[in-house]
Structure 1
Amino acid sequence: MEALRGRVLRGLEALRGASGWVIGVGAVLIVLGVLALGSQAFATLATVTLVGVAMCLAGLVEIVHGFRQRGTGRAPFWVLLGALYLVCGILVLRNPTLAAGVLTLMLGAGLAASGIVRIALAFQVRQVTDAWGWLAASGAATLLLGLVVLLQWPASSLTILGLLLGIDLLFAGFGWVRVGLGLRRLTGPVASA
Structure 2
Amino acid sequence: MVDKSVIHSSPHLTTTSWWGALLLGLVFIAAGLFILGDVALATVISAVIIGFALLVAGVSEVIHAFSAPHWRGFALRLLIGVLYGLCGVALIADPLAASLVLTLVFALALIVSGVMRIFQSFQYWRWAGSLLLLSGLVGTLAGFVILAKWPVSGLWVLGTLVGIDLLLHGVWWIALGLQLRREPRTAEP
**Which residue does the alignment assign to 1:43?**
42
**Which residue does the alignment assign to 2:51?**
52
The TM-score, its normalising length taken from structure 1, stands at 0.84
Whether the 8 Å contact between 1:12 and 1:183 is mirrored in structure 2 is no
The TM-score, its normalising length taken from structure 2, stands at 0.85
**Which residue does the alignment assign to 1:121?**
120
Q: What number of residue pairs does the alignment pair up? A: 185
Alpha-carbon distance, 1:6 to partner:
9.2
Alpha-carbon distance, 1:188 to partner:
5.7
**Which residue does the alignment assign to 1:91?**
90
> Aligned to 1:143, which of 140, 144, 149?
140
Q: Deviations over 1:64-104 (max 9, x none)?
A: 11221245575444333322221221111111111111111
Whether the 8 Å contact between 2:100 and 2:154 is mirrored in structure 1 is yes
**Which residue does the alignment assign to 1:110?**
109
> Aligned to 1:168, which of 153, 162, 165?
165
- Greater shift, 107-116 or 34-43, is seen at 107-116
Q: Distance in 2 between matches of 1:77 and 1:115?
A: 30
Whether the 8 Å contact between 1:16 and 1:184 is mirrored in structure 2 is no
> Aligned to 2:176, which of 160, 174, 179?
179
> Aligned to 2:153, which of 153, 156, 159?
156
Alpha-carbon distance, 1:181 to partner:
1.6
Alpha-carbon distance, 1:132 to partner:
3.3
Q: Deviations over 1:96-135 (max 9, x none)?
A: 1111111111111111112211221223344x46x43333
Whether the 8 Å contact between 2:14 and 2:187 is mirrored in structure 1 is no
Whether the 8 Å contact between 2:7 and 2:13 is mirrored in structure 1 is no
Alpha-carbon distance, 1:21 to partner:
2.7
Q: Distance in 2 between matches of 1:59 and 1:14?
A: 33
Percent of aligned positions with the same letter in both sequences? 35
**Which residue does the alignment assign to 1:132?**
129
Does the residue aligned with 2:184 lie in a helix, a strand or coil?
coil
Whether the 8 Å contact between 1:52 and 1:89 is mirrored in structure 2 is yes
Q: Structure 1: 5+ residue runs without aligned partners?
A: none
**Which residue does the alignment assign to 1:18?**
16
Distance 1:143-1:7 versus aligned 2 partners, 3 A rule = closer
- CA RMSD, Structure 1 to Structure 2 (Å): 2.5
Whether the 8 Å contact between 1:66 and 1:79 is mirrored in structure 2 is yes
